[in-house]
Amino acid sequence: MKRRILVADDHVSARKAVGELIRTLGDDWVLACEADDGQAAVKLAAEAKPDLVILDVRMPNLDGVRAGCEIRKFLPEVPILLYSLFGSPQLDVQARKAGFQGAVAKPDGAALLAAIREIFDSQRPDEGAPNPAEQVH
């Protein structure tokens, strides 16, 4: 089953660019839904229950950090990435302090894809480890 990603950004061109990256370069991912502001992102996350949320930092109605914190309340295990034109080491630190997986600069599609792969790869069970469901007790 493909992993579902929610993308929230108030700029249509940014949402479309991220969506295109996901569609063309995503291994086992799919763009599940898009939101144009923070409040819509929270609502869609509650309805769609995505496997990853990518939030622009500066959005109307609810910024990405606050939207991510709201989403975290009802989807505590879902990874959240901030995506911003104003990417910086300080923003990455702020994102991690908020419990997110980090922050990526908008113009850097390769960094975004690497961050998505890293998140999803970290969720895969160890291939060498025994599957507890298959063990006989």
pLDDT at 4: 95
Q: What is the mean pLDDT of the chain?
A: 86
- Domain 3-122 classified CATH 3.40.50.1000? no
Residue with tokens 């113009």: 107
Q: Is the pLDDT of residue 24 over 90?
A: no
Report the alpha-carbon distance of residue 67 to residue 56 in Å, rounded: 10
Identify which has the larger pLDDT, 86 or 58: 58
As a whole number, mean pLDDT of residues 50-70 equals: 95
Q: Is the pLDDT of residue 49 over 50?
A: yes
CA angle 106, 107, 113 (to 5 degrees): 75
pLDDT at 125: 59
The answer to whether 57 and 86 have CB atoms below 8 angstroms apart is yes
Q: Is the pLDDT of residue 137 over 50?
A: no
Domain boundaries, the chain: 3-122
pLDDT at 128: 44
Report the alpha-carbon distance of residue 87 to residue 110 in Å, rounded: 14
- pTM (predicted TM-score): 0.86
DSSP 134: G
Q: Is the pLDDT of residue 134 over 80?
A: no
DSSP assignment of 17-64: HHHHHHHHH-SSEEEEEEESSHHHHHHHHHHH--SEEEEESS-SSS-H
Q: What is the pLDDT of residues 68-127, one digit of tens each?
A: 999 999 999 999 999 988 767 788 888 888 889 989 988 788 889 999 999 998 886 554
